Chain A
Amino acid sequence: AQSVSQHNHHVILSEAASLELGCNYSYGGTVNLFWYVQYPGQHLQLLLKYFSGDPLVKGIKGFEAEFIKSKFSFNLRKPSVQWSDTAEYFCAVAAYKAAGNKLTFGGGTRVLVKP
Chain B
Amino acid sequence: KAGVTQTPRYLIKTRGQQVTLSCSPISGHRSVSWYQQTPGQGLQFLFEYFSETQRNKGNFPGRFSGRQFSNSRSEMNVSTLELGDSALYLCASSLDSVINTEAFFGQGTRLTVV
Interface class of chain B by DSSP? strand
B contact residues, total (Cβ < 8 Å): 28
Q: A90-B43, A105-B43 are in contact. Are A46 and B99 (CB under 8 A)?
A: no
Interface 9-mer from B60-68, B79-87, B104-112: B104-112
Jot down 23 A-B pairs with beta carbons below 8 A, ordered by A: A32-B100, A36-B105, A42-B107, A43-B3, A43-B90, A43-B105, A43-B106, A44-B105, A45-B104, A46-B102, A46-B103, A94-B98, A95-B99, A96-B100, A97-B99, A100-B57, A101-B50, A101-B56, A101-B97, A102-B48, A102-B98, A103-B33, A105-B43
* A contacts with B: majority SS: loop
Q: How far is the CB of B14 from chain A (nearest CB, A)?
A: 27
How far is the CB of A40 from the nearest CB of chain B, in Å? Answer: 12
In the bound complex, residues from chain B placing their C-beta under 8 Å from that of A103 are 33, 45, 92, 98, 103
Number of interface residues of A (CB under 8 A): 24
A94 x B43 contact (CB < 8 A): no
